[in-house]
Amino acid sequence: MSHLAPLLSVDVGTPWYASPDWLTALFTGGLLLVAVVTAIFGLMAAWAAVKTARLEAAPVLVVTKPAGKETYSTVEYVIARDPTDRALCFRQRSYEWDEPLDNATGATLSRHYGGRPQWPHQTLDVRNVGRSPALSATVSLRFELTPELNTPYDRVATDPKPDNAMHGPWTVGRDFPHRLEQQAELIGSIELPIVPVGETVRVVIENRFFATVRLSVIPEDIARGAVVNGLDGILAMQAHR
């Protein structure tokens, strides 16, 4: 039977998965995959670095309540009625529309408010903590107005009886507040032409309504940076009585 042994043996050769060519191709493919993954992570890291650099280089405006008595450049706004359509609006203060009127004998201050500085108001500081100037920046605000119901508006709006003819005339919105019939919400924006790096712009907002105003900052992106709400909660402006 020994002469049959060569006929029964079969030479199957080397398996395909163990061939040198296959192992070389597998190794090469692994290197390529590692290179692709490494390139993807490298691009992601580079993009993150670019975004971080842009953020660090951009202006960042932080809105806070004034912490001291420093003197800054000031912009003034009012919550009042639009002079044209009488709608509730938030706009920059205007001498033509908001200052007490003069009489024939010269300027007189409102007997109700003792002049414009006595209007109910809130002050905000807008500081640029970024690394570049903020140009044409916008800070968005939300105002919630609630009518004052406990104090008769007619008493507040009544023209005072001057001791002499030098006082008056008295005008709603200039010398005494507008009436608010029902609760309202108003969205407005503060426009700041430029806030230099490390500088602060002080914003004074006057309440020209017989109402309590709750003010909050709306954090948002601006054209070249970001607005950060640094306020602790919501600020309120009580109606002057």
pLDDT tens string 57-77: 678 888 888 877 777 888 999
pLDDT for 160 equals 57
How far, in Å, CA of 229 to CA of 203, rounded?
14
Query: What's the CA dihedral at 84, 204, 217, 197 to 10 degrees?
Result: 120
> Average of pLDDT values for 150-162?
69
> Letter for the amino acid at 123?
T
How far, in Å, CA of 176 to CA of 118, rounded?
11
Confidence of residue 181 (pLDDT cuts 50, 70, 90): confident
Whether the full predicted model's pTM is greater than 0.75, yes or no, is no
pLDDT for 81 equals 92
Phi/psi for 185 (5° steps) reads -125, 140
**Higher local confidence (pLDDT), 124 or 38:** 124
Q: DSSP secondary-structure letter at 178?
A: B
How far, in Å, CA of 13 to CA of 220, rounded?
71
How far, in Å, CA of 216 to CA of 237, rounded?
11
Q: Could you give the 3-state DSSP secondary structure of residue 115?
A: coil
Q: Which residues are CB-neighbours of 26 under 8 A, at least 6 positions away?
A: none
pLDDT for 223 equals 44
How far, in Å, CA of 88 to CA of 210, rounded?
13
Confidence of residue 48 (pLDDT cuts 50, 70, 90): low
Burial of 29 (0-12, 13-18, 19+ CB in 10 A): exposed
Burial of 41 (0-12, 13-18, 19+ CB in 10 A): exposed
Helices within 87-173 (DSSP H only): 95-98, 153-157
